[in-house]
Amino acid sequence: NIVWLDHNEKVLNSYLKAYYQIIKWSGIEGTTIKRLYNKNILKTKICFPSIKEQKQLGILIQKLEFLITLLQRKKAKYEELKTALLQNLFPEKDSRVPLLRFKEFHNDWQQKKLETITNITMGQSPNGSTYSEIPTKYILVQGNADLKNGWVTPRIWTTQMTKQAKKGDIIFSVRAPVGKVGKTNYDVVIGRGVAAIKGNDFLFNVLKKLDKESYWDKVSSGSTFSSITSSDLKNTKIKIPQEIEQVKIGDLFFNFDETINILQKQLSKFENFKQFLLQNMFI
């Protein structure tokens, strides 16, 4: 599955490594598993400048790739730390206090049903004839496909108001997949694939933790498409501390999410810049 390529006096490896990211190989075979043979590699024509220019191009792309790798590692570290905090800043199943805690808090957490601490609105889909891919009256949120990086991203619109989520609400997927959550920066219409939950950043991360622990797999039903009912969601039991501790925990995770989002934007920017250079600095 591996071919060893080495440079000669005409072409540098650093140049080839960059060039091979955009080359269109001739003679690729196979449908499910693609195959490229030695003869295809050797007979594929490439364009290359002088050694001096090859070296400069190769160094430029290498520097960009190094920067991208550093950003990827930094983002991964923040994500790993956030995952660890999700595990340790919330009590385990048989406990009323978390393993890690802000030093000023000592009281036990209380276990309550979700419906007793917040308002939950189950979605109702508008008539299909009101849907549009062109912006119209209301943004429609139907499911996980309308969430990107934890936020509602407008994709479909509707002219019919059924059930609504307000700006700042938590959007919770109740079917295929169950348990995915996001937030909305808009007033939106919600379809039957989601529910709107009034809640702070603490509750948002409680729901994310339940999803990571595959909690919803235990309560969902359906053979083809898993789903949960209004009763399943409202009767879900969670543990909560006093409000001031909720705020501190929520703010901590909010700052982590903001940092991760900033790193992702920087990463996307440099990845797009790299692709731009590959497309425009090579023939």
Q: What DSSP letter does each residue of 43-108 carry, written as one string?
A: HS------HHHHHHHHHHHHHHHHHHHHHHHHHHHHHHHHHHHHHHSS--TT-SS-SS--TT--SP
Q: Is 171 helix (H, G, I), strand (E, B) or coil?
A: strand
pLDDT tens, position by position, 169-224? 999 999 989 999 999 999 999 999 999 999 999 999 999 999 999 999 888 876 56
Confidence of residue 262 (pLDDT cuts 50, 70, 90): very high
pLDDT tens, position by position, 127-171? 999 999 999 999 999 999 999 888 999 999 999 999 999 999 999
Query: Could you tell me the CA-to-CA distances from 273 to 17, 55, 130, 185 in Å, in that order?
Result: 17, 19, 39, 29
Q: 110-240: CATH homologous superfamily?
A: DNA methylase specificity domains (3.90.220.20)
229: part of which helix (H) or strand (E)? Answer: none
Tokens 């600095």 belong to which residue?
A: 281
